[in-house]
Structure 1
């Protein structure tokens, strides 16, 4: 492709089915205008000072994504931030489980017994307002460094950069476009009770399947107006919105672009959607399988690679035919996606989504315009030829999911791998080739030497320890199924 922009008309899911929007989707020229107007990002500390002063910003949320993709950090007055823009947090920040526990140390996983500080430096290109805050507030994503200035190699944002550097050494730049699915549900303060769809403007909750229904989307018009407003205020670019298969299940597609920037947008958009839903007395959940009788939620990732020198898509040759790099990228995904599954499906609940005869893939077969396989090649022209990874669930950390997916494709290209033949027809009846549970996925991840070389042993061992600890925490909970079928029967 001549540029990233060449992909724009085609990187989306069924755009003809998208809901009508009251907000205008930005063109590239409008996006450039927005950047010039300073709605998102600056290039220096002094520009940040001017940006905040012009908006009367009083407080700054200094955030960093942890292993779960949760925003951690500090809220500080703007004047205090400028007095010392580099802040510190405990190194254990990147070793916490989703429940806030710390894994036990073992032969491979150990952390600083003093829990010393790491340094967080602001990425001023991420500066944006917090539109739902009661007082004028800005947010700023930070990067993690050791006290002697080295990147913290287990930090998710740094890990994604580590993978992108592998492409950069070959003069390449990945282009990604994520699609996020999520559910709207009634508030549920008691976790012992199942989730239920919310009530829309008709006064009735959804019943039955509503795939691509415009009317079902219109049930929540006021909420989606706030999501659009909050997103535009932060410079986040929503491309399309559709109603998915489940009751009050939605999908938002983001415009294609740089992997770190898109991971940032997913990270921020998840929070934005949750905040907008709370404003309307609903929850928005990105759990992979929040309701037992409803479909799971995915985060599909469209991927292509451009040559920095020529600006062309390396997946297509001069005649518009697929290249060996294209097929090797697919082959790398086929071979290694099962081994990075613990990053694409990071929780026990994630594997409930991967059920036979559902929209979720259970294998890593590939095919042209085939939504039953794990790796789909959408219809496109040569300029926009790309590979859609349909395996990740919506609960995955976007930085880790993109790093894992791109790493698999890179190994495939580097090793000149060849894929299996594409699947014609449905792959849903074919055998599982993905791990069936979290412990199996974690073991496969740690045992795959090629991945340890790519991600670094420190990250592999830390992430394994976190996931094993989360599994042990889960095993302390007795489920309703066990009470239903075992209590009086065994």
Structure 2
């Protein structure tokens, strides 16, 4: 179902007997919010928009300036496949956020990304993004989620060990109904861990798809009596869940990262882009890895990146260049996790890459060996730095990063720092089970 204009929306509503519309948007933390309206209000929604209280949304506006307006992006209209019941079919539309005076809310995560995309467009580029989201399926007890894996399969496992084949198929079929182009699905390394990959696309549409993907996955898991989580590291002894991000810049119909006549068949633009991301990655981490738990994934021994390096197909590097060339030439940033806000994460990565291109930055020496095998002294000799070890540390880097402060806008920048530091303070002031088990009977 292709929606191009208001008339297409009205026709789809009539054809599918839609009774309710969910107007969805994303807050600064990356949580989906929605306002549900009866279909009788669709003309108003598509015209002047639907008002809501922005002061109730984390990081938006204060109570004395709370009136905000949701304006639907009609291209995101979709029927929710699981909603066809006696209460009526439900559709959703992703919205942009406006102020009462008609100006777009400049701290809307969607708008933050649009602004950086416009900067890239002015330079002759468009960003394509292909994320790889991992997630866990856990059992429920009395309706509450546990950390007991739904199965005990491993990487690329299949039935009968992989118990989630049918669930993944249901997720894939639902996403296909929502116009996703699914490339593959499989069991991941950890018990109960899975991955479903969808085709790359423009940055904004892909960020929308990430939010829809998480929404659909949780819903289908719930229908099957399970809990789906995108928590980065729910089990300490198992691999965590990442959201590797494949990135390429297009210039018209050409892949700006591909140069058949240069070393590795990658362009100078690619190297500049990588250098910019490497320069800002410690600050980006506060956005792409926004939880205390995020940094329990970014440790040696569990395939997640730790060291700030780039390479060819070498998976021990933070940024690698997969072997495909031509239109498929891309770079893969391996540190983000699926708890992030994709709009802000893609905006920060793109702004950093453009900074590298503008200033023709040098990414340094390519690491074509396993960085994890190096000793501390060998890494020091090679000048290899590490990602931040905590959300507190990454927040300190973001605070000092003027490029990202400008990219995000002061309001979003300050709220991300506030939320990160509140997260750290809440964590450090708690007494955890590990401490009780370690100290109570010995001290």
Give the CA deviation at 1:423. Answer: 0.7
Matches within 5 A, 1:21-40: 38=1
1:180 to 126, 133, 141: 133
Structure 2 residue 256 is matched with structure 1 residue 291 = no
Give the CA deviation at 1:216. Answer: 6.3
Partner of 2:247: 303
Give the CA deviation at 1:269. Answer: 0.9
For the residue of structure 1 that corresponds to 2:183, the secondary structure is strand
For the residue of structure 1 that corresponds to 2:140, the secondary structure is coil
Q: 1:216 to 1:477 in 2, by over 3 A?
A: farther
Give the CA deviation at 1:359. Answer: 0.4
Q: 1:479 to 1:189 in 2, by over 3 A?
A: farther
Larger CA deviation: 379-388 vs 410-419: 379-388
Structure 2 residue 421 is matched with structure 1 residue 477 = no
Could you list the per-position Cα deviations for residues 231-251 of structure 1 after superposition, in whole angstroms to 9, with x for gaps in the alignment?
122112221112111002111
Structure 2 residue 338 is matched with structure 1 residue 394 = yes
Higher strand share: 2
Unaligned runs of 5+ in 2: none
Give the CA deviation at 1:93. Answer: 5.0
Partner of 2:74: 124
Is the 1:217–1:242 Cα contact (8 Å) retained in structure 2? no
Distance 1:169 1:84 in 2: 32
Partner of 1:462: 415
Normalized against structure 2, the TM-score is what?
0.91
For the residue of structure 1 that corresponds to 2:272, the secondary structure is helix
Partner of 1:23: none
Partner of 2:302: 358
Q: 1:84 to 1:326 in 2, by over 3 A?
A: closer
Give the CA deviation at 1:84. Answer: 4.2
Structure 2 residue 9 is matched with structure 1 residue 48 = yes
Structure number with higher relative contact order (C-alpha < 8 Å, ≥ 6 residues apart): 1
Distance 1:401 1:217 in 2: 35
For the residue of structure 2 that corresponds to 1:435, the secondary structure is coil
Larger CA deviation: 392-401 vs 319-328: 319-328
Is the 1:362–1:374 Cα contact (8 Å) retained in structure 2? yes
Partner of 2:147: 195
Distance 1:339 1:306 in 2: 26
1:66 to 27, 49, 63: 27
Normalized against structure 1, the TM-score is what?
0.83
RMSD, matched Cα: 2.1
Is the 2:70–2:95 Cα contact (8 Å) retained in structure 1? yes
Distance 2:398 2:229 in 1: 27
For the residue of structure 2 that corresponds to 1:419, the secondary structure is coil
Distance 1:370 1:149 in 2: 49
Is the 1:73–1:89 Cα contact (8 Å) retained in structure 2? no
Q: 1:252 to 1:307 in 2, by over 3 A?
A: same
Could you list the per-position Cα deviations for residues 112-150 of structure 1 after superposition, in whole angstroms to 9, with x for gaps in the alignment?
341421111000000001112243110000001122222
1:349 to 281, 284, 293: 293
Is the 2:395–2:417 Cα contact (8 Å) retained in structure 1? yes
Partner of 1:22: none
Structure 2 residue 392 is matched with structure 1 residue 439 = yes
Give the CA deviation at 1:44. Answer: 2.5
Distance 2:197 2:232 in 1: 17
Q: 1:411 to 1:480 in 2, by over 3 A?
A: same
Unaligned runs of 5+ in 1: 1-37, 97-101, 103-110, 199-204
Larger CA deviation: 113-122 vs 439-448: 113-122
Distance 2:52 2:133 in 1: 30
Q: How many residues align?
A: 427
Give the CA deviation at 1:285. Answer: 0.7
2:216 to 266, 272, 285: 272
Distance 1:239 1:262 in 2: 14
Q: 1:383 to 1:234 in 2, by over 3 A?
A: closer
Query: Which runs of 4 or more aligned residues in structure 1 lie more than 6 Å from their structure 2 counterparts after TM superposition?
Result: none
1:317 to 259, 270, 275: 259
Give the CA deviation at 1:160. Answer: 1.1
Partner of 2:114: 161
For the residue of structure 2 that corresponds to 1:306, the secondary structure is strand
Partner of 1:89: 52
Is the 1:94–1:154 Cα contact (8 Å) retained in structure 2? no
Is the 1:342–1:441 Cα contact (8 Å) retained in structure 2? yes
